Amino acid sequence: MTTQTNNLQESLNRLINKSPEIIHENANKDADVFNTLRDLTAGTVAKSIGLDMLPEHVRLAHENGDIHFHDLDYHPYMPMTNCCLIDIPGMLKSGFKIGNATVATPKSIQTAAAQIAQIIASVASSQYGGCSVDRIDEVLSPYAELNAMKHRKVAQQFIAETERDTYVHQMTAKDINDAIQSLEYEINTLYTSNGQTPFVTFGFGLGTDDFSVMIQRAILNTRIQGLGTQGATAIFPKLVFSLKDGINLKATDPNYDVKQLALECATKRMYPDILNYQALTNMIGDFKAPMGCRSFLSAYEENGEFINNGRFNLGVVTLNLPRIAIMHPRAENFMTELKHRLEIVRDACLFRIKRLKDATPQNAPILYQYGAFGKRLNVNDDISKLFLNRRGTISIGYIGLYEVGALLFGPDWEKNNEAYEFVLNILKTIKHFADALTELHDIQFSVYGTPSESLTDRFCRLDFERFGAIPNVTDKGYYTNSFHYDIRKKVTPFEKIDFEKDFAQYSTGGFIHYCEYPSLVHNPEALEAVWDYAYSRVGYLGTNTPIDQCYTCGYTGEFRPTAAGYTCPECGNSDPDTTDVVKRTCGYLGQPLKRPMVKGRQIEISSRVKHMSTRDDLL
C-alpha cells in the first residue's frame, strides 16, 4: 500500500471511530446525521487526494504545521470558491434559475424572502465558505412597497379614507414580519449538500425609507423572540447591524430607536454585531458587510461605481506564527524566517488560484451563470474574469500574535511598547508582502485574521507534540485567534479596543473585535457606551454575553464549563434537548452541547474572562 493509501485509511478509521478532532472540526456540522457523515467521509477522501495534488513543499509545510491550507476537504480536489457577497439585488431583479426552475422577479416581500432562502441554500452548496446578503433591509424594501401598493388598492375600495393609512401600515407591517420570520425559520431548517446549516450573514441598518426601517425592526424583533415554543437563540443568520452618524448613532438621529432595539437584541441573543460606518470605510475603502463572519472585500470600482455584491474570496492559507517564534526566539531571526514562510504561503495561494481557473461555469451554475457572482457567464467563458483585476480576494491568514509576543518578550508584553511595535510590525510585514503580490498578479491578496475554529487546536497540538509544554504558549491547549488581546487577562472593553485597533488596520482582509461581558439584559446602556466608544476606532465589533437557558429549571445566564461541555449551575442539566447553550465559536455563534467543538476551542472559550469596566456607571 502507498503512503497516501495508508494515510487515507487511517483518516477514515478515525472518522468511523468518531475521533473528536475530525467530527468536531466544524461546530456547525452534526456528525450524527447521515448526510453530514456522508460529507465528512467524502471530505476525508477529498482531503487525501487534495494533499497529493499540492506542490510538495506546500504539502509538507501543511502536514508538519508550518502553514495550514484551509478547507482541504473541498479544495483543491474540487476547484471551489470560499466566501462571497451574493448579488441578491441582481438575482431578484433579473430572475434566476435553480435546478429545473426558472424563477421570475418577486411581486411581494414574502416571495422575495422565500427566493432569498432558496438562493442561499444553492450558493452554500456550491462553495465551502460563508455567504452574505448585504443591506438586506434595502434589498427587500421595494418588494415591501409592492405589498403596500396592493393594500392601498384594497383600502381605496373598502376602508374609510381617514383609516386607510393605518390599515396599509398595519397590513404591510404584518407582511414584513411574516416574511422575516419565515426567512429566519427557513435558514435554520436548511441543510446544504455538505450537511450543515448555511453559514449566512445579513447586513442591515443603513436604510432610511419607511419600509427599510420596518424590515430592520422585524429582523431584530424576530431574533429577540427566538425559535420555537421555548424561544431558542437562532444561530443563523448572523446579524450585522450598521451604525452611522446621522442615521441611527445618536439620540437625535431619526433611526436611533432601531439602535436601541439592536442593543436589546444583543443583550439577549449576542447578535447583532455592529459595523461602524466611518471607521470601516476608512479601513477598506468603502462600506460593506463581511463575507461570512469576518472576510472583507477591498474597494473595487467598475465605471466609477463601487461594486461589492457578486464578489468572492478564493480561499485562505494560514501561517503558524508561534511555530516561527518557538524555533527563532530572537527578533531579527524571527523576521527572516517569517519572510521565508511567506514565500511558501505565496506558492500555496498561487496554486489555489491556478486550480480555480480549471472550473467552468457549468460546475456551479448558480454562481457563474445565474447571477450569484454578479456577472452571468456563458458556458464556454473563462471564470477567472470574475476574480482578476482585483475583483476577487485570496487571503494570507495568521494566528497566534499573542503567543509570539509571549515567547519573545514575556507573557505580559501587551504593555511593553517595544514588544507592541515589534508584534505590530509582523502584520505590517505580511501586509507589505500581500500588497506586492497584488501588484504582481492583479488579484487582491488580503491579510486575514484567521477565525481558527479548529486551527487554534491543531497548531497548538502539533507544537506541543514537537516542542513540549511552553509556558503561555503550548501549555494552554490553544493558540489565540488573530490579533486578540490575551483572553485570560482582565481589561476593560475600552482598553481592549484601544489595544487591538492598530492591528486591524493591517488585517483588512479579515478581522473582528469582541468584548466579553456579564449579563447585560438589565444594563443595555453599558453596551451602548462601548458601541459609541468603538464607533470612530474600530470597524467591526461583536458582543459576548451569557445567554444560556435551562428549560428544566428555568435558569438563564452562564452555564458552567466542563471538560466535555457545559452544565446548568442551578440543576446540573447538560442535556442538549432541554438546554440552549450558545457561545461565540469565532466570528459565528455555536451550540457546543448540540454540536461540540474541538478540545482547544472548548478550552479557549472556557478561559475567557469578562472585560469589566472600572467605571461604576457602566458594568
* Strand-pair partners of 579: 550
pLDDT band at 453 (very low <50, low <70, confident <90, very high): confident
Cα 311 to Cα 293: distance, rounded to the nearest angstrom = 15
User: Is 313 among the catalytic positions?
Assistant: yes
DSSP character string of 365-405: HHHHTSSTTSS---TT--GGGGTTTTTSEEEEEEE-HHHHH
What single letter denotes the amino acid at residue 372? A
User: Which of 91, 291, 349, 460 is labelled catalytic?
Assistant: 291
Q: Which of 122, 120, 281 is nearest to 188 (CA)?
A: 120
User: Is 212 among the catalytic positions?
Assistant: no
For residue 28, what pLDDT is reported? 55
Cα 151 to Cα 144: distance, rounded to the nearest angstrom = 11
Reported as a single tens digit per residue, the pLDDT across 138-159 is: 999 999 999 999 999 999 999 9
Model-wide pTM > 0.85: yes
Q: Cell numbers 460563508 label which residue?
A: 130
User: Which of 453, 495, 516, 604 is labelled catalytic?
Assistant: 453
User: Is 147 among the catalytic positions?
Assistant: no
User: Which of 48, 65, 77, 83 is labelled catalytic?
Assistant: 83
Helix (H) or strand (E) holding 592: none
Cα 527 to Cα 271: distance, rounded to the nearest angstrom = 12
DSSP three-state, residue 321: helix
183 has a pLDDT exceeding 60: yes
As a whole number, mean pLDDT of residues 240-247 equals 98
368 has a pLDDT exceeding 90: yes
Q: Cell numbers 452571468 label which residue?
A: 376
Cα 528 to Cα 581: distance, rounded to the nearest angstrom = 25
For residue 12, what pLDDT is reported? 58
Cα 529 versus chain centre, distance: 24
pLDDT band at 595 (very low <50, low <70, confident <90, very high): confident
> Cα dist. 619→174, 259, 562 in Å?
37, 20, 26
Cα 250 versus chain centre, distance: 27
User: Is 448 among the catalytic positions?
Assistant: yes
The total number of residues written for the chain in this structure: 619
For residue 564, what pLDDT is reported? 73
Alpha helices in 328-467 (DSSP H): 331-356, 365-368, 401-409, 417-441, 455-467
Cα 262 to Cα 249: distance, rounded to the nearest angstrom = 11
pLDDT band at 577 (very low <50, low <70, confident <90, very high): very high
As a whole number, mean pLDDT of residues 586-598 equals 85
For residue 17, what pLDDT is reported? 61
User: Is 293 among the catalytic positions?
Assistant: yes
Reported as a single tens digit per residue, the pLDDT across 507-553 is: 999 999 999 999 999 999 999 999 999 999 999 999 999 999 999 99
- Put residue 205 in one of left, alpha, beta given phi > 0 → left and psi -120 to 50 → alpha: left
With b for 16 or more beta-carbon neighbours within 10 A and e for fewer, the 593-609 pattern comes to bbbbbbbbbbbbbbebe
> Cα dist. 533→256, 357, 540 in Å?
16, 44, 12
* Strand-pair partners of 306: 301
For residue 581, what pLDDT is reported? 96
Report the percent of the chain where pLDDT is more than 90: 84
Cα 174 to Cα 388: distance, rounded to the nearest angstrom = 44
Burial status of residue 421 (CB atoms within 10 A of its CB: 0-12, 13-18, 19 or more): exposed
Q: CA-CA-CA-CA torsion for 594, 225, 146, 97, nearest 10 degrees?
A: 0
Reported as a single tens digit per residue, the pLDDT across 375-390 is: 999 999 999 999 999 9
Average pLDDT of the residues of the chain: 93
User: Which of 48, 313, 446, 574 is labelled catalytic?
Assistant: 313
User: Is 264 among the catalytic positions?
Assistant: no
Cα 360 to Cα 364: distance, rounded to the nearest angstrom = 8
Cα 428 to Cα 437: distance, rounded to the nearest angstrom = 14
* Strand-pair partners of 203: 240
Lowest-confidence pick of 20-29, 166-175, 327-336: 20-29
What single letter denotes the amino acid at residue 598? V
As a whole number, mean pLDDT of residues 238-259 equals 98
Reported as a single tens digit per residue, the pLDDT across 255-310 is: 999 999 999 999 999 999 999 999 999 999 999 999 999 999 999 999 999 999 99
Reported as a single tens digit per residue, the pLDDT across 456-506 is: 999 999 999 999 999 999 999 999 999 999 999 999 999 999 999 999 999
616 has a pLDDT exceeding 50: no
As a whole number, mean pLDDT of residues 411-433 equals 97
Cα 135 to Cα 145: distance, rounded to the nearest angstrom = 16
User: Which of 126, 132, 147, 295 is labelled catalytic?
Assistant: 295
Cα 68 to Cα 119: distance, rounded to the nearest angstrom = 31
pLDDT band at 197 (very low <50, low <70, confident <90, very high): confident
* Strand-pair partners of 395: 316, 446
pLDDT band at 58 (very low <50, low <70, confident <90, very high): very high
Cα 61 to Cα 72: distance, rounded to the nearest angstrom = 14
User: Which of 11, 26, 48, 82 is labelled catalytic?
Assistant: 82
Higher-confidence position of 29 and 347: 347
Residues 427 and 507 sit within 8 Å (Cβ to Cβ): yes
User: Is 84 among the catalytic positions?
Assistant: no
Burial status of residue 531 (CB atoms within 10 A of its CB: 0-12, 13-18, 19 or more): buried
User: Which of 448, 479, 485, 566 is labelled catalytic?
Assistant: 448
pLDDT band at 196 (very low <50, low <70, confident <90, very high): confident
User: Which of 293, 460, 550, 597 is labelled catalytic?
Assistant: 293
For residue 1, what pLDDT is reported? 38
Cα 249 to Cα 263: distance, rounded to the nearest angstrom = 12
For residue 171, what pLDDT is reported? 98
